[in-house]
Amino acid sequence: MKCAALGFLSALTFCSTSVFADFDSVQRLLSEKNYTEAATELTKLAQTGHPEAQFQLASLYEQGLGVEKDITQAYAWYLVAKDFDNSAAAEKYSVLRKVIPSRKEGKDRYRAISKLYGKKQHQQQYTPIVKPSRFYPERATIVNKVEPEYSSDLLAAQSAWATVAYNVNESGHVEDARILASFPKNAIDDQVLEAVKQWKFEPVKRRNGEPDRVNDLFYTFKIESNSSSNHRKYEKQLEEYTGKLKALADGGNSYAQARYALMLEHEVIENPSEQAINWYYKAAINGNNDAQLRLVHCFENGEGCQPDERKAFNWLEKASQGDNYRAQFQLAKTLLNYESVHYNPLRAVGILKEATHNQYLPAMTEYAHLLAFSDNPKIRDIQSAIKYAELARSLDPTHPVLLSVLGASYSELGRVEQGEELLQQAFEEAQQRNWPTRSYLNLIEGGKAAMMANGARLTY
């Protein structure tokens, strides 16, 4: 989907890689009479809990547009949409119940769909309970915060804001810094990105002492022109922009919904009557990956809503569908956590392989590690571990985990001297990065057997 489709929204500098079309895009498919593709996308939206999509999907079944005509299926989806308080669906239900071939079959079909995608099920699995507070737990501690450098000419001429999203790697350095949204476009984008890329954080550690990543951190920068007339001009432009954005959000555009939520959350705009989390939720059921991941953190950490581990996992699964490699990696990490009720290493391997094909280094590294060190014969594959570790080294040639994967794998294949050299390099590089070195020492001193005997887990 192209950013240009949003017209004036070119002021936004980031387009979400949504798993599927949002409701606004589906309307274009319908207007183009592309009913087959529209039915596919409406099904996904309907299953995610989008009431209007449920209504329109029922309508397609009723008319046989893009799908085989099925009055019973239409009746069932109208009933589901009615449960989600869609008034038009209630009217259609009243009409169809008089002409449906079998009310019993219709009710049975409705119960089957409702059990999977109905309102009660949706509320239990996905709906946030708003907690109106400014509580945001510190997920990473910054130790060196570089401020953006703005020229005096810029500060005289322009008021602006920009929200940056970024990840923090195992060494505490910023990765994947990107502008999520800004206004006016490009006014301060370059300056804030340059600053954030220089930030340094205290490395986060897992319970076993190994370094860990932190994903999806955000920061909003704001500058105010020292010219009062220029600032008033900016405020007027921002008000106009916000009005157009809100109109698109009300119309069902997922990008606009997510951006409006972001502006509320980061106090770019103030509207005491609206909660950012409610707009993130609307964007999330509309298929927006950024909003879905935002809900994951909401439920995990209580950021704007009541925490709920099950709902966090459900939204993480939604966000990981398609080619969203960041969400895929986070889901795989959850599935690999043996303390989690969702522990499922076989499923994690499949997800990591998919993310690996998107050349996402954390996923490539974890995948190669699993292939090399897993004690599950359905997972362990030394030759593939070497292949994927070498592929990942094209992105980070001295990554300690990748070096250890290659060292252990080559040693097992009989190339002992080469393996020992690589393991020594892994240990030295871990020292250089200030990572714990016990796992690497275990590999050097006794190989995989010693590591397993000591109960160490080589992670990153």
> Cα(226)–Cα(250) distance, rounded to whole angstroms?
35
pLDDT of residue 17: 39
Write out the two tokens for 45. 């939206």
Q: What is the CATH number of the domain that holds 438?
A: 1.25.40.10
Q: Examine the domain organization and report whether 32 and 181 are in the same domain.
A: no
Number of structural domains found in the chain: 3
Give the long-range contacts of residues 350-359, CB within 8 A, separation 24 or more: 351/320, 352/328, 354/325, 354/328, 355/325, 355/328, 355/329, 356/388, 356/391, 358/323, 358/325, 358/328, 359/391, 359/395
pLDDT of residue 134: 64
Q: Examine the domain organization and report whether 109 and 166 are in the same domain.
A: no
> Quick check: is 134 in a domain?
no
> Quick check: is 109 in a domain?
yes
> Quick check: is 4 in a domain?
no
> Quick check: is 255 in a domain?
yes
pLDDT of residue 135: 60
pLDDT of residue 445: 85
pLDDT, mean of residues 219-226:
96
Q: Examine the domain organization and report whether 153 and 297 are in the same domain.
A: yes
Average pLDDT of every residue of the chain: 90
Q: Examine the domain organization and report whether 48 and 148 are in the same domain.
A: no
Tell me which residue range forms the domain holding 287.
142-301
> Cα(69)–Cα(66) distance, rounded to whole angstroms?
9
> Cα(429)–Cα(402) distance, rounded to whole angstroms?
11
Q: Examine the domain organization and report whether 342 and 413 are in the same domain.
A: yes
Q: Examine the domain organization and report whether 76 and 224 are in the same domain.
A: no
Query: pLDDT digits over 117-140, tens only?
Result: 999 999 999 999 998 766 667 789
pLDDT of residue 136: 67
Nearest C-alpha neighbor of 266 from the set 222, 214, 307: 222
Please determine, for residue 456, whether its predicted confidence score (pLDDT) is greater than 60.
no
Query: pLDDT digits over 75-97, tens only?
Result: 999 999 999 999 999 999 999 99
Buried/exposed code over 366-405 (b: 16+ C-beta within 10 A; e: otherwise): bbbbbbbbbeeeebebeebbbebbebbbeebeebbbbbbb
> Quick check: is 16 in a domain?
no
Is 94 exposed, middle or buried (CB count within 10 Å of its CB: 0-12, 13-18, 19+)?
exposed
Structural domain ending residue among the three candidates 249, 269, 301: 301
Query: pLDDT digits over 248-276, tens only?
Result: 999 889 999 999 999 999 999 988 889 99
Q: Examine the domain organization and report whether 160 and 268 are in the same domain.
A: yes
Q: What is the CATH number of the domain that holds 258?
A: 3.30.2420.10
> Cα(33)–Cα(215) distance, rounded to whole angstroms?
40
Please determine, for residue 16, whether its predicted confidence score (pLDDT) is greater than 70.
no
